[in-house]
A and B are shown apart, each in its own frame.
Chain A
Amino acid sequence: MKAKFVIPLAIFGVLCVFLAIGLTKDPRQVPSPFIGKPAPAFTLAKLHEPDVKFSPEEMKGKVWLLNVWASWCVSCRVEHPVLNDMSRKGIVPIVGLNYKDQRADATKWLGQHGDPYLFSVWDIDGKVGIDYGVYGAPETFVIDKQGIIRHKHIGPVTPEALEKTILPLLAKLNA
Chain B
Amino acid sequence: MKRLLAPLLLAAATLAWGQSAEIANPDPKVEARLKAIAHELRCLVCQNQTIADSDAPLAVDLRQQTRKMIAEGKSDDEIRAYMVERYGDFVLYKPPFNAATALLWVAPGLLVVGGLAGLVVLLRRRREATAAAPTPDPARRKEIEALLAAEDEPRRG
Q: Specify whether A and B are partners.
A: yes
Interface residues of A (CB under 8 A from B): 27-28, 30-33, 100, 125-126, 129-133, 135-136
Closest chain A residue, CB of each to CB of B62: A130
Q: What CA separation (Å) do A31 and B44 show in the bound complex?
A: 12
B44, B61, B84, B88: the one within 8 Å of A136 (CB) = B44
Closest chain A residue, CB of each to CB of B45: A135
Interface residues of B (CB under 8 A from A): 44-45, 47, 57-58, 61-62, 65, 84-90
Set of chain B residues within 8 Å of A100, measured between Cβ atoms: 57
Q: Do B45 and A33 touch across chains, with their CB atoms under 8 A apart? A: no
Set of chain A residues within 8 Å of B86, measured between Cβ atoms: 33, 130-133
Set of chain B residues within 8 Å of A31, measured between Cβ atoms: 88, 90
A30, A32, A126, A133: the one within 8 Å of B61 (CB) = A126
Dominant secondary structure at the A interface: loop
Q: What CA separation (Å) do A33 and B42 show in the bound complex?
A: 15
Q: What CA separation (Å) do A132 and B88 show in the bound complex?
A: 11
Set of chain B residues within 8 Å of A126, measured between Cβ atoms: 57-58, 61
Q: What CA separation (Å) do A131 and B86 show in the bound complex?
A: 6
Set of chain B residues within 8 Å of A28, measured between Cβ atoms: 47
